[in-house]
Chain A
Amino acid sequence: MNATSIHTLDWVVLFGTLIFIVAYGVWKTRGKQDMEGYLRGGNDSKWWVIGLSIMATQASAITFLSTPGQAFNDGMRFVQFYFGLPIAMIIISIFFLPLYYKAKVYTAYEYLESRFDMKTRMLAAFIFLIQRGLAAGITIYAPSIILSTLLGWPLQATTIVIGVLVIIYTVSGGTKAVTQTQKQQMAVMMGGMIIAGILVITSLPEGVGFKDALNVAGKMGKLNVVNFEFDLTDRYNFWSGVTGAVFLFLSYFGTDQSQVQRYLSGKTLKESRMGLMMNGLLKVPMQFIILFIGAMVFVFYQYNQPPVFFNETVRQEILQSEEYAEEFRGYEIAYEDVFTEKRQLVDELNSAIDQDNETAVLVAQKELNRLEAEGLSIKENAKSLIEEADLESNDKDYVFMRFVMSTMPVGIVGLLFAVIFSAAMSSTSSELNALGSTTTIDFYKRRIKQDGDDEHYLKSSKMFTLGWGVIAIIFASTLSLFENLIQAVNLIGSLFYPIVLGIFVVAFFFKSIRSNAVFISAIISQIIVILVHYLNVQGTAGIFTMGFLWYNAFGCILVVLIGWLLNRLIK
């Protein structure tokens, strides 16, 4: 599996798709523009376009690279995280959206000035710029590192290709170009994944039916979709999905400008609401399908020898190393032996199920899971060796594309690479678009130059969008020097999002709380959330021990409570 195994037709499909999307975005938005059109897409988007745009913004390349790998390793339980999404869509549709429409805002943070004051608006906008600015770099960097390995391109070249393609149409056409291209990108993503789903199932060996595949995946713990057990330490279960995740989705969809800008482009309030409902209806099944593909890839590798490590480039590197090659080869042989034993047991399991022999099913299942654990332990040893050799030990994100490259027909491989690139471009374009808008509206127009005309602000928006694009590319290009930054940026999101959500919750639901109270409360709450996180890292948080997901609820409730108390104290 390397770049040479990619057929010319795949390159044609990949580049044909990408160039078509970029050209379409530029062509659709040619001609005279104004600020209204550039920042709000001329307010003429239909509900289904808004729905697709919201979904395309959230679906990053990592969604398609990591999620099948997640099901491959951990089963399908991750889908429960999305149960809170439809609930959040309804809350935003009822409470957030009408207020944004009534205030006729370009950015979500503008609303905060009319409700509180300028400093509260600036605080929320500033947090957004820092958070989203860093995230834009990650959105380009994370898939680049995987795609560069798979395609055999230098990392920086991949980063630049994604970044420049996005900049071309986002800077030239603004919100309208983002929305228009996201239609095509979503079509590529959905079409590609449906084809991949069908091909995964048809790639199973002859005589292995769909039901057999479900039995193997289920008995080996990969179809663990729903778990109703209440456990605060378990990140993905029904309860964390319908509580903690709701706060996270409220923060992201309700207060993050990269999403707010999507539904503010609606023709009417009704169209915007319908777009949100579309997301609420389709997102959970979409995640289910992507995870299900991962579970089926797992079944495929119960009948076909899987590699002990899915990143082929790293595998080749370690096999060429004098120091580590022999030990690594040892792990490969041990892993092959485990597979041979498992392969036989899988057949025994299926025939026991066919014969309704429960005892034999339980015996085969127990033995299979023991061998699976043995295989995992060998994999972990191989990974530790790779880490010791100072090579990239990420394996999960390569599972799906390795499967694609080794089994899918010519043309489809190119299409699935186009899916990953489209996903990277769709989320990055929304981010750059929102960063440019917020910088122009909340800072430049509000604080620096208040007397400019429409054309001046249009040009400024384009310059700021371009500037953020360049920053994102530079950031993505230097990220390899600071591997831990990915974790750091995810952490920054979890630490700051809840405070912004808290400010908006006070704005919408606690009319008596005034600006100074909410501003001071936001700062105090921010310090507390950071402190609680520090104590959690140290393992001394006591009753405040919680996972990242719960910071959203905790921080938001803190802002409201402290704001309410301060409001009573401050005259």
Chain B
Amino acid sequence: MQSKEQNKTDSQEEKQNWTKMYVLVMAVLAIQIVLYYWFTNTFS
């Protein structure tokens, strides 16, 4: 019973970690787009 609970907590934690990873990937993309937009406007 305790092990089941433990597994559930682990998988919950893993899910949260992956969600953080996906947010990070999207944030990096968003930052790049902002920088590229700045780059386009600054030098054009």
Contact = CB atoms under 8 A, between A and B. Distances in A.
Interface string A217-234: 111010111111000000
A230 B5 CA distance: 50
Given A277-B25, A281-B25, A223 B43 contact: yes
Please classify the interface of chain B as helix (H, G, I), strand (E, B), loop, or mixed, using the class held by over half of its residues.
helix
Given A273-B18, A281-B25, A221 B40 contact: no
Contacts of A285: 32
A288 B43 contact: no
Q: Is the interface of A mostly helix, strand, loop or mixed?
A: helix
B26 A226 contact: no
Interface residues of B, number: 16
A273 B26 CA distance: 15
In which size bucket is the chain A interface?
A: 20 to 34
Given A90-B22, A226-B37, A218 B29 contact: no
Interface string A437-463: 000000000000000000000000000
Contacts of A219: 43-44
A476 interface: no
B26 A86 contact: yes
A218 B42 contact: yes
A238 interface: yes
Contact of A218 (B22, B25, B26, B43): B43
Contact of A90 (B25, B32, B39, B40): B25
A339 to B, nearest CB: 22
B22 to A, nearest CB: 5
A280 B26 CA distance: 9
B40 A89 contact: no
Most buried by B among A93, A218, A224, A226: A226
Given A218-B42, A273-B21, 8 more contacts: A90-B22, A94-B22, A223-B40, A223-B43, A225-B39, A273-B18, A280-B25, A281-B25
Interface of B: 18, 21-22, 25-26, 28-29, 32-33, 36-37, 39-40, 42-44
